[in-house]
Amino acid sequence: MKIDWVVSAEPTSSKHDPASRECELFSSPEWIPVLKALGATPRFVWSPSRRIGMQLAIFHRLGLKIGYLGFPVAGERFDEMDDEAMHRLASEIQKTAGISLLRLVRSGQKEIAPTATAAFPEARIDRLEDWVPKDKRLQKDLAFARRSSADLQIRGECTDPAACHLLYCEAVRAHGGKVRYTLNYFSCLARLADRDPRLRFYIAVDVYDRIRGFSVVAKNQRTAYYLHGAVGGSYRKTGIGDRLVHRMIRGAAEMGCTRLTMMASPWKQPGLHSYKMKWCENQRLTSTTDYARGLSGSLLSVGSRFTVRKWRKHAQNWHSTK
Is the confidence at residue 169, as pLDDT, over 60?
yes
Can you tell me the distance from the alpha carbon of 219 to that of 238, in angstroms, rounded to the nearest whole number? 29
Per-residue pLDDT tens over the stretch 222-276: 999 999 999 998 899 999 999 999 999 999 999 999 999 999 999 999 999 999 9
Rounded Cα distance between 30 and 20, Å, is 10
Query: Any idea which of 172-176, 312-316, 318-322 has the lowest mean pLDDT?
Result: 318-322
Residue ranges and CATH numbers for the domains of the chain are 6-121+284-320 (3.40.630), 128-257 (3.40.630.30)
Whether residue 208 is predicted with pLDDT greater than 70 in this model: the reply is yes
Q: What is the pTM of this model?
A: 0.92
Q: Is 131 in a helix, a strand, or coil?
A: coil
Give me the chain's average pLDDT, please: 90
Q: Determine the pLDDT at residue 216.
A: 98
pLDDT at 80: 86
Is 256 in a helix, a strand, or coil?
A: coil
How far apart are the C-alpha atoms of 23 and 219, rounded to whole Å? 7
| DSSP result, 229-254 | EEE-GGGGGGTHHHHHHHHHHHHHHH
For the stretch 89-141, pLDDT in tens is 888 888 888 899 999 999 999 999 888 999 999 999 999 999 999 889 999 99
Q: What is the pLDDT of residue 308?
A: 92
Phi, psi dihedrals of residue 236, rounded to the nearest 5°: -65, -35
List, for residues 31-57, the tens digit of each pLDDT value: 999 999 999 999 988 877 767 778 899
Q: Mean pLDDT, to the nearest integer, of 155-180?
A: 94
Of all residues in the chain, the percent with pLDDT exceeding 90 is 68
Confidence of residue 23 (pLDDT cuts 50, 70, 90): low
Report how far apart, in Å, the C-alpha atoms of 310 and of each of 63, 102, 120, 206, 307 are: 27, 22, 11, 43, 8
With beta carbons less than 8 A apart as the criterion, state whether 69 and 56 touch.
Answer: yes
Residues of the chain above pLDDT 70, percent: 94
Q: Which of 9-18, 283-292, 303-312 has the lowest mean pLDDT?
A: 9-18
Buried b vs exposed e over 221-251: b needs ≥16 C-beta within 10 Å?
bebbbbbbbbbbeebeebbbbbbbbbbbbeb
